[in-house]
């Protein structure tokens, strides 16, 4: 987060004034981390308060029956206590008024006879309090902290598909830097510290551009329906052009 806010975005804006950047990230859990005050039903109790709860930011609730089409809803009580699922749903007119009591989250029985939260119920429905609230537009629109920071600065962000590091050309850059380090490192911490910047600097821009081109060929192969590792896939990905008239496949 600190690198994005204080280094990456300012550097891009200084180099390309008036332009919007597209930041690309691997689909890692750390990259999708939510801010501490994000709207997350998993951090809420059924009742108000609780040791594990955190104060969430004020949200805007879309409501067609409201004169202005919606209203702001505070997620804390006047004394600062985090509101529970029941309070938030009641204020939105979603808590049952027929005496029915909603569970916090639906559970399933394990082979040992215990119960465990049913994570599948969060995919939609009205079966429990968490599902009812997570299906609301403001909770569905909640973004990760990284995504919020980049979009707030006026730029865009995309995530690579999970487990597809070959689509990220920076991985090839890291590989080249690590290969140089292994060949030149004295295998002690001082030499490693000295080699870090040297290893990164010795990878030429022309090679980085070639890495980018390769990832574009991989993406094109996937888009055309090729299966990873197949001969036709390898032909598309490993094709090398010797000139504008002929090419060979390695």
Q: Is the pLDDT of residue 94 over 70?
A: yes
User: Do 92 and 126 have their domain in common?
Assistant: yes
Structural domain range at position 149: 2-33+144-159
Q: What's residue 250's pLDDT? A: 43
Q: What's residue 247's pLDDT? A: 46
For the whole prediction, is pTM greater than 0.95? no
User: Do 52 and 115 have their domain in common?
Assistant: yes
Q: For 101-126, what is each residue's pLDDT tens digit? A: 777 777 666 666 666 666 666 555 66
Q: What's residue 191's pLDDT? A: 87
User: Do 102 and 67 have their domain in common?
Assistant: yes
Residues contacting 235, CB < 8 A, separation 6+: 249
Residue 156 confidence class, pLDDT cut points 50, 70, 90: very high
User: How far is the CA of 116 from the CAs of 107, 110, 199, in angstroms?
Assistant: 5, 7, 49
User: Do 49 and 127 have their domain in common?
Assistant: yes
Q: For 190-238, what is each residue's pLDDT tens digit? A: 988 889 999 999 999 999 999 999 999 999 999 999 998 899 998 888 8
Say how many Å lie between the first and final Cα of the chain, rounded.
Answer: 41
Q: How many domains does the chain contain in total?
A: 3
């Amino acid at each position: 987060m600190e690198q994005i806010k204080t280094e990456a975005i300012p550097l891009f804006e200084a180099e390309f004034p008036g332009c919007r950047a597209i930041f690309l990230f691997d689909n890692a859990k750390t990259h999708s981390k939510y801010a501490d005050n994000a709207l997350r039903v998993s951090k809420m109790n059924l009742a108000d308060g609780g040791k594990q709860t955190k104060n969430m930011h004020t949200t805007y609730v879309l409501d067609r029956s409201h004169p202005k089409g919606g209203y702001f809803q505070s997620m804390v009580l006047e004394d600062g206590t985090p509101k529970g699922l029941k309070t938030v749903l009641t204020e939105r007119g979603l808590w049952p008024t027929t005496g029915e009591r909603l569970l916090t989250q639906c559970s399933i029985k394990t082979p040992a006879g215990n119960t465990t939260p049913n994570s599948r119920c969060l995919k939609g429905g009205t079966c429990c309090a968490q599902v009812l609230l997570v299906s609301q537009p403001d909770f569905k629109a909640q973004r990760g902290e990284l995504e919020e920071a980049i979009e707030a600065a006026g730029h865009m962000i995309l995530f690579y598909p999970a487990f597809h590091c070959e689509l990220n050309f920076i991985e090839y850059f890291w590989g080249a830097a690590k290969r140089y380090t292994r060949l030149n490192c004295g295998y002690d911490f001082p030499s490693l510290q000295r080699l870090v910047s040297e290893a990164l600097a010795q990878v030429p821009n022309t090679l980085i551009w070639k890495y980018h081109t390769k990832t574009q060929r991989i993406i094109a192969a996937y888009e055309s329906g090729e299966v990873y590792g197949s001969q036709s896939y390898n032909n598309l990905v490993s094709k090398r052009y010797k000139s504008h008239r002929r090419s060979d496949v390695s």
